[in-house]
Amino acid sequence: MSQIKTMKELADLAGVTTGTVSRALSDSPLISPKTRERLQALAREHGFKPNLLARNLRTQRTGAIGVLIPLGHEKGQHISDPFFITMLGYLADELTERGYDLLLSRVIPEDENWLDQYVGSGKIDGLIIIGQSNQSETLDEVAARYRPMVVWGGHAPGQAHCTVGSDNILGGDMAAQHLIDRGCQRIAFFGDPQALEIAQRLEGCKRALARAGLADKLTVLPAHLVAEAAHPDIAGFLGSVSERPQGIFAASDVIAMSALRALAEYGLAVPGDVKVVGYDGLAIGEQTVPRLTSISQDLRLGATTMVDLLLRRIAGEEAGSVVLDPKLIVRMSS
């Protein structure tokens, strides 16, 4: 019952060669059922697990997918951000279900070839990147020579990298339209449009307002994405603004939560005095007081789609970007 660590040991024990053991353990048809049984039993008995590194080296696949979170324009942003975390959870579920491991790295894009560190190191079969941050050009460049890569984020015409994300313009439109339907005339947008996704949401928001003839009633506050940083932004805004907005469209649920808190601190009732709509549809929106109305992105579907596309790209197929439908979830804050 000594510890069997390698195929050689097991082979010697059974009086065969490593080739035979390898075939027996992988249910090769080239092996007789009898010896297969015998070797599998022996392996089980001694708790033998083949070394995956060696296998991967030989087969040239690692069984791991890299997940990268580039933190370009928001240094303070943490992996523990609810959005990342939610997406990460879904990805982990999806990947482990298909037999892949998930290699997680947080990257601060400092030197320019931060992506090349990963790609071609042989550790991963493919790459999923959560959020474009402000690195769209780098992503485009790498996408040209590294195929198995999928990015969560906004899709723009002429973009070279494969993305999955919701229709941010439509989503922004829906959010603003909902506020208008609820009677809001003055609307504030909270979010920094230097990120592509947020810029698109703002664009949709403007479109809806223009349609309703309220184009000049919009205020844009480039709030931070990180909750701790967003709160002072918002509190400052609420304290200084002359005409209070009747509706707030926050570019993410995290920003919306900060807004809810700031509003409560100013003694403003939600949705009585101010109505609030977020974006993402995170589960955490169920737990706020009041529960948060939001544009939902169906991140589970997004994760599934990203993994699908990625595996097809790994297999050598062509697979283009996918734009998902956003959905308005009306809860209590509007």
Partner DNA sequence: ACAAAAAATGCAATCGATTGTAAATAACGC
Partner DNA sequence: GCGTTATTTACAATCGATTGCATTTTTTGT
Interface with DNA includes 60 (CB under 7 A)?
yes
Interface with its own copies includes 240 (CB under 8 A)?
no
Interface with DNA includes 19 (CB under 7 A)?
yes
Q: Which of 11, 127, 284, 307 binds its own copies (CB under 8 A)?
A: 284
Q: Which of residues 26-55 bind DNA (CB under 7 A)?
A: 26, 29-36, 50-51, 54-55
Q: Which of 2, 59, 80, 240 binds DNA (CB under 7 A)?
A: 59
Stretch that binds DNA, among 7-15, 171-179, 243-251, 299-307 (CB under 7 A): 7-15
**Residue 223 CA from chain centroid, whole number:** 21
Interface with its own copies includes 79 (CB under 8 A)?
yes
Show the site string, 82-101: x = touches its own copies by CB under 8 A, - = not: x-xxx-xxx-xx--x----x
Interface with DNA includes 291 (CB under 7 A)?
no
Residues engaged in binding DNA (CB under 7 A): 5-8, 15-20, 22-23, 25-26, 29-36, 50-51, 54-55, 57-60, 122
**Binding site residues, its own copies, CB under 8 A:** 5, 47, 49-54, 56-57, 62, 64, 78-82, 84-86, 88-90, 92-93, 96, 101-106, 113, 116-117, 120-123, 227-228, 257-258, 260-261, 264, 283-284, 286-291
